[in-house]
Structures are given as C-alpha cells and as structure tokens.
C-alpha cells in the first residue's frame, strides 16, 4: 500500500513518512458518562468502508498532527485540516 498524503506544512509526501492514529472519535457527552459509553469510546471503532476522518502525524517529516478525510477503499485523500485548538480547561 503506497499513496501520497499531503502534509499541511510539507505538501504531498509518501504515506510511509506518516503515522496513522485512527479514526476521529467523539468523547461521550456529560460529566458522568456510563461505563458502556466509555467502553465504546475507548475500544470500538466504526471501521468504515468509505470516507472516514482520521488522525495523522508527519512522523518522519515536520512532526505535524493533522486530520485527513480518506476513502479507506481507495486511499484517496479528500481533504486535510489542522485540528481546532483544545478548549480552555
Ligand atoms: Zn510535514
């Protein structure tokens, strides 16, 4: 498997330069989520056969973390974006 993935800073690079950290998940809402909701959040993924949003890091390049929408069937990268800053705690 080889394809080009565009880094927001470096431009298109071979996917071998990156680390993929899987699909973007959403933390359960509320201050006291149920054990079931937490278990699903930590352990289960949708594993979509199609377009999914994923975390990537340009590990062997600039080190940047970013989000990519990728079609898992074709490895076509539809878009990339930088993550929103974390809200203040
Ligand atoms: Zn880069």
Give the Cα separation of 78 and 27 in Å (integer). Answer: 24
Going from the Cα of 31 to the center of ligand 1, the distance in angstroms, rounded, reads 36
- In the chain, what's the furthest Cα-to-Cα distance? 42
Going from the Cα of 79 to the center of ligand 1, the distance in angstroms, rounded, reads 15
Going from the Cα of 75 to the center of ligand 1, the distance in angstroms, rounded, reads 19
Q: Where are the beta strands (DSSP E) in the chain?
A: 4-7, 11-14, 19-23, 51-57, 65-71, 77-81
Going from the Cα of 48 to the center of ligand 1, the distance in angstroms, rounded, reads 26
Domain limits of the chain? 4-26+37-81
Query: Taking the model in full, what pTM does it have?
Result: 0.86
Q: What is the pLDDT along the chain (89 residues), one digit of tens a residue?
A: 799 999 999 999 999 999 999 999 999 999 999 999 999 999 999 999 999 999 999 999 999 999 999 999 999 999 999 998 877 87
How many other C-beta atoms are found inside a 10 Å radius of the C-beta of residue 5? 20
Q: Quick check: 52 and 46 in contact, CB under 8 A? A: yes
Please provide the CATH number assigned to the domain covering 4-26+37-81: 3.30.2270.10
DSSP 75: -
């Amino acid at each position: 498997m080889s394809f080009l993935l565009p880094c927001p800073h470096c431009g298109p690079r071979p996917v071998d330069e990156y680390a993929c950290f899987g699909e973007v998940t959403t933390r359960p809402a509320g201050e006291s989520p149920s054990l079931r909701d937490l278990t699903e959040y930590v352990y289960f993924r949708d594993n979509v056969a199609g377009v999914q949003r994923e975390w990537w890091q340009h590990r062997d390049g600039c080190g940047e973390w970013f989000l990519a929408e990728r079609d898992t069937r074709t490895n076509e990268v539809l878009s990339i974006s930088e993550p929103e800053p974390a809200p203040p705690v």
